[in-house]
Amino acid sequence: MVRRFLSLIPALLIVFSALSGVFGARVCAADEQSVLQLTPEEENYIASHKSLRIGYVQDRIPVSFSDRNGELAGISRYIFDRVSDICGLEFEYVPLPEGEITYDYLLSNGLDLVSSVEYNDENKNARGILISEPYLSSRKVVVARKGFEFKSGSRFSVAISTGSQTVKKVLAKSYPNFDPVDYPSVSACFDAVNSGDADLMIQNQYVVEYWISKPIYEKLKVIPVPGLDDRLCFSAVVAFGGGEGPDTEDGRILIDILNKTIEAIPEDEIGSYTIQAIMENPYRYTFSDFLYRYRHAVRTMVIAVLLIVLLTVLLIRMHLRFTENKANDKIKNQFLSTMSHEIRTPLNGLIGLNHLMSQNSDDPEKLKEYLRQSTLTSNYLMSLVNDMFDMSSLQAQNLELVLRPVDLKLVLNTVDSITENAMSAKGIEYSSDYDPVFRCVLGDEVRIQQVLLSLLDNARKFTPKGGKVTLSIKQELLDDETVLTSATVTDTGSGMSEKFQKHIFDTFAQELDTVSKGNQGTGLGLPISRRLAILMGGDLTFTSRKGEGSSFTFTFAAKPDVLPKKDVLEQPDNVKHPRILVAEDNELNGEIILSLLEEYGFEATLAENGKKALEVFCDSEPHTFGVILMDLLMPEMDGFEATKAIRESGRPDAKTVRIFACTANSLPEDREKAMLSGMDDFIAKPIDVGALIRKLSTE
């Protein structure tokens, strides 16, 4: 506590100094007014113009802005109030709207003065205004995206807020390679640079220091540039060369009064106002900032909630099926009890993690660990959803295999790449052995891979560090048209008791021991795997001894086939990183997918529906896009129609661009329809990021 108090002393001294300066200034106000040495004309002006209307810009925190009550606040307010105290003029502060302010607007709103006008030769010579000496001197700085570099001979687009028009002429003289682009506000300028619509923006250093604290601008940086002073002054509104408008002579008198008053305020007093305003107006995080800063955590929580909803629907569905037969009451009660536990346990964990994240939002290390745990929990919920769908379909006998030529060597390579990392992380030695006789068979690649990964994951869970897991695959020809493939997964893990072995294929059956503790499982993997094996004309058998390990053999029958010829994607030599086109009508999902792709170095373009995706693809240069992630259900044109239209567009890359269905519709009939429409693969939502990146990286 003492250390924390001591750390606050410098800040307290600064505030005390600032407040002392203000207090002292107000005590001496009457004396200072007496030493202004006003002329009779100036004294008469003050006597006859007690209240003046000053227009101020509203989006220049901490320099000039409207507070919660709609009143002028910031550095300017302190200075203007001080000017009023010294010279005796009273000011009414009027907020100016966004955008460029015209002379007619100033006249129609009866403004006597405009603040935050840039002190430069352009404004000195402008018609209709007379400017004072600067009341606040600082610098302008340049804002760019991190990684940006100035390259000689290049041109750069520069975002300029419409309230800073004269900076254009300064840039034209000193930086002719800067191309100014108008934006209505400071925040719009920041957004333009952040999104890449503009290369740079130029703004007051104090304003930039405030806005750049916003989490969404974390990829921006500040670049000091010489020769860009930012001196702010008053401008008095006067008539154009004798035309209608305020009297020019009155304007000159007012400016003379303001200049004498500004000169009477010491520089250190202006400095105290600057410090005070900056300390009083730090950037305050909003709820949207919180959502952006912890967007990955929020995304995980949203996915988890959706998974829980899906599980609840499945639970009700299976509950209704059980209630149709009263003889199944015992099974029903056991199922409901188990499912309640399986859903409530991770749900409780997610709720707890959400609370911990909100309590430790300022501790990056703790947040990183909580995010890791929430990701693991969400992945478990996803596996539970998938298993429930499979079990429900298998029980209803409506799960159909999607038979296509399967390259078993490629399947094994994929399984190995997924398994080796998980085994290595636990310190398990993993090896596989496969010498194909019939490398290509007619089968369901997704289901074959699913069973293999399920068996290997079980082996990993129940094998301790230092153990071994092996996968061996053999084939034999049963007859002229049938190949029997046998895949055996052997581990040196804990094995199973003879009592448990009798129930190993029962739904939700699990045997806990010291090795498996901490590893969540649904108890559905083996029952589903066996039913899939039987559906594929094979079986799932095992041998096991408690304390010595287990061996599972998965067999499936299939017709031998020939590997299909792959179309060669011809691309120009200069296309090295083909972009990805994402067709997604849900805005949140689209932003998530784009963020994921950008994190892994992919360039991506978003189209809000199938029709827009078709237009973007057809309007682009051939081979611009290497992959299209296509949602299925979208307005105006769904993913099936869009895919057919792309394939029939006649472009050089129409037949070779890879199109992946990316959808929450994961039933077999959806997959089949997607393939018939011309798609190359199927990615189910919620997206397995690792699987997606592997697919996108495949040549």
pLDDT in tens, 325-374: 544 555 555 555 555 555 655 666 666 667 677 777 667 777 777 776 66
Q: Which of 125-134, 180-189, 482-491 has the lowest mean pLDDT?
A: 125-134
11/81 same-domain check: yes
363 and 483 assigned to the same domain = no
127 and 23 in one domain? yes
Q: Can you give the pTM of this predicted structure?
A: 0.45
**455 within a domain of the structure (yes/no):** yes
Cα separation, 103 vs 92, whole angstroms: 19
Is there a single domain that holds both residue 553 and residue 587? no
| Average pLDDT, integer, range 234-259 | 80
**The domain spanning residue 553 has which CATH number?**
3.30.565.10
Which residue, 687, 686, 692, 691, is CA-closest to 310? 686
H-helix segments, 65-141 = 75-87, 103-108, 121-124
Q: Is residue 673 part of a domain?
A: yes
Distances (CA, A) of 454 to 448, 625, 683: 10, 35, 19
Residue 567 domain-assigned (yes or no) = no
Same domain for 144 and 130, yes or no, is no
d(CA 261, CA 79): 11
Residue 471 has pLDDT above 80, yes or no: yes
Alpha-carbon distance 590 to 609, whole Å? 11
Q: What is the pLDDT of residues 507-546, one digit of tens each?
A: 655 555 533 444 545 567 788 888 889 989 999 999 998 8
Could you say which of 372, 395, 418 is where a domain stops?
A: 395
Final residue before a domain boundary, out of 560, 592, 624: 560
Task: Give the CA diameter of the chain.
Answer: 119
pLDDT of residue 692: 79
Domain check: are 551 and 680 in the same one? Answer: no
Q: Is residue 195 part of a domain?
A: yes
Q: What is the pLDDT of residues 40-75, one digit of tens each?
A: 999 999 988 878 999 998 889 999 999 888 899 999
Looking at the fold, whether 371 and 447 belong to one and the same domain comes out as no
In the predicted model, is pLDDT for residue 695 greater than 80? no
CATH code assigned at 667: 3.40.50.2300
Residues in the chain: 699
- Evaluate whether residue 305 is within a structural domain: yes
Which residue range(s) make up the domain with 465? 404-560
Model confidence pLDDT, tens digit, residues 106-140: 888 888 999 988 888 778 877 778 899 999 998 88
Q: Is 548 helix (H, G, I), strand (E, B) or coil?
A: coil
Contact 597, 697 (CB under 8 A): no
Rounded CA-CA distance 251/44 in Å is 13
CA distance 370 to 363: 11
Residues 436, 516 within the same domain: yes
CATH of the domain at 38: 3.40.190.10
Task: Identify the CA nearest to 482 among candidates 408, 407, 558.
Answer: 558
Q: Would residue 368 count as lying in a domain?
A: yes
Shared domain check, 672 and 602: yes
Half-sphere exposure of 188 (CA within 13 A, CB side): 13
Asked whether residue 204 falls in the same domain as residue 353, the answer is no
Better-predicted residue by pLDDT, 4 or 552: 552
Domain presence at residue 565: no
Is 648 part of any domain?
yes
602, 541: one domain:
no
| CB-count burial class (<10 Å; 0-12, 13-18, 19+) for 419 | buried
What are the DSSP calls for 408-450, one per residue?
A: HHHHHHHHHHHHHHHHHHHT-EEEEEE--SS-EEEE-HHHHHH
Domain count along the chain: 5
Terminal Cα-to-Cα distance of the chain (whole angstroms): 59
Asked whether residue 441 falls in the same domain as residue 530, the answer is yes
Among the candidates 395, 422, 448, a domain finishes at 395
